Amino acid sequence: MFLKSSQFFELNKKTSLQVPTPVLTSSLCLPLEAGGRSFFALGDFPRRVSIGDLLLKSGDLKVFSPINGIVSFDSSRNSLFLRIDGNLFPKFEFQKREYTFLELKTKLEEKGVVTFDFTVMPFYKLLEIFRGEEGSLIVLAPLTKDNFLNYKSKILEKLNVELQFFKSTLIKLFPKSQVLDFLTEQSPLIETTYPNGNPKYFLYKYCNQPLFSEIPTEKILYIGPETLYHILYALYYDIPFHERLLTITVINRRGLLEGETKVYKIKNGTNLSEFLSLIREKYNYRFFTINSFFEKQPVYEIGSDFIFDIYRHHALIICEEIFYKDQESICIDCNDCSYFCPVDANPRALLDKDKSLFQKDICLECGLCSVFCPAHIDFSTKISSLKEEMSFAIS
């Protein structure tokens, strides 16, 4: 079952629903198998750890302790468990400093900062790929992919000085590159509507770039606001990537948003089952999904454990009912799929025997063709399958 919905939600301002604050329990869980990725546990167990101590690795990704306390290994559940017994809110002092390229890369690697603008990967890897040659771009973008959370305002309110230091560092390290700062310098008239936060679409719409099938990361260093938020804390406060802001949105059975979207800072490995069960007991909301209204996501029934993973989760969408099951009807030739496509990729052609008129190279895979199809045709899966077939044929 999958949640399908429209971007055109109304806000029910008269709601009596009050989203409770997720409570951090005394223990957290870090599975060694998560999201199709295997992690290796490092060090001896049990042992005392502090916030930022390295616990797990998966290739270049690092998982740090999100707490001060005791970590132990449970072989039966193949997970690390952390028990809190220290201060959860240590004070980190602002560190004013300049960075060489090597120092910048090393610091971001040590602190485990990742980019959320592409497939999750360590940010220092992007720095290694980016050449900074004549004609290259460094883009400080203002929008996240789903626009649930206004990171731009958070950065300008709390990290504006740090942003200017970082920007100055980039200019010194990459003097041949043009820096486009959409947080403080560029036109404020950036539409927050979906999918303007998609890096490919943002570059096309606001940076006069072509619609890339893959962004040439050797020529364009794209830094979205959530990625930038964690970069600034790592560089100037020495804070490792160990927690993430989580947005929680509630949708009632009529498809209305219940109240305002709530934002909470959640530590990696937090079990949200108690919080979700409270929502069910108090308001009888029975389902939730993760991350996006527009991309195909699994729908979960409230009641089982749900462990917050900072690499995979950034939003919870709690719903009273599933709006409809994943059942397709016959195409009625309304052409809404192509009409709502922001890049004119012509997804309607996917239903023809000859699919060559579908512009797969410029398709963003934003999911709007599936969202707006009145026949509930799953264009997203068709697009993914076609691209996988083409990729396999080329390889």
Work out how many domains the chain is built from and give that number.
4
Range of the domain at 223: 101-237
| Percent of the chain topping pLDDT 90 | 57
The reply to whether 257 and 314 lie within a common domain is: yes
**Looking at residue 344, what is its pLDDT?**
94
pLDDT, averaged across the chain = 87
Q: What is the model's pTM? A: 0.90
C-alpha angle 347-366-268 in degrees, rounded to nearest 5: 155
Q: Pairing relation of β-strands 121-122 and 137-140?
A: unpaired
For the stretch 211-270, pLDDT in tens is: 998 999 999 999 999 999 999 999 999 999 999 999 998 887 777 777 778 899 999 999
Is 1 a member of any domain? no
The reply to whether 206 and 113 lie within a common domain is: yes
pLDDT band, residue 371 (cuts 50/70/90): confident
The reply to whether 121 and 232 lie within a common domain is: yes
The reply to whether 231 and 345 lie within a common domain is: no
Give every CB contact of residue 20 below 8 A, 6+ residues apart in sequence.
Answer: 275, 278, 279, 282
Is 329 a member of any domain? no
Q: Is the pLDDT of residue 358 over 80?
A: yes
**Looking at residue 253, what is its pLDDT?**
76
Q: Is the pLDDT of residue 162 over 70?
A: yes
Neighbour-count burial of 300, counting CB atoms closer than 10 A to its CB (0-12 exposed, 13-18 middle, 19+ buried) = middle
Q: Mean of the pLDDT values across residues 30-44?
A: 92
**Looking at residue 393, what is its pLDDT?**
55
The reply to whether 253 and 231 lie within a common domain is: no
The reply to whether 105 and 233 lie within a common domain is: yes
Rounded to an integer, what distance in angstroms lies between the CA atom of residue 206 and that of residue 310?
29
Q: 160-173 and 151-158 helices cross at what angle (nearest 10)?
A: 100
What radius of gyration, in Å, describes the C-alpha atoms of the chain?
A: 22
pLDDT band, residue 381 (cuts 50/70/90): confident
Rounded to an integer, what distance in angstroms lies between the CA atom of residue 273 and that of residue 27?
13
Q: Is the pLDDT of residue 285 over 90?
A: no
| Percent of the chain topping pLDDT 70 | 90
pLDDT band, residue 206 (cuts 50/70/90): very high
Q: Mean of the pLDDT values across residues 318-332?
A: 74
Q: Mean of the pLDDT values across residues 7-28?
A: 62
The reply to whether 33 and 142 lie within a common domain is: no
For the stretch 43-93, pLDDT in tens is: 999 999 999 999 999 999 999 999 999 999 999 999 999 998 877 677 788
More confident call, 284 vs 29? 29
Looking at residue 292, the DSSP 8-state letter turns out to be -
The reply to whether 118 and 219 lie within a common domain is: yes
The reply to whether 196 and 227 lie within a common domain is: yes
Rounded to an integer, what distance in angstroms lies between the CA atom of residue 97 and that of residue 106?
14
pLDDT band, residue 138 (cuts 50/70/90): very high
Tell me if 174 sits within 8 A of 135, measured CB to CB: no
The reply to whether 222 and 258 lie within a common domain is: no
The amino acid present at 373, given as its one-letter code, is C
**Looking at residue 390, what is its pLDDT?**
67
- Last-in-domain residue among 206, 237, 268: 237
Among 224, 221, 229, which residue's Cα sits nearest to residue 245?
A: 229
- E strand or H helix that includes residue 246: strand 243-251
Q: Is the pLDDT of residue 5 over 60?
A: no
Q: Is the pLDDT of residue 378 over 70?
A: yes
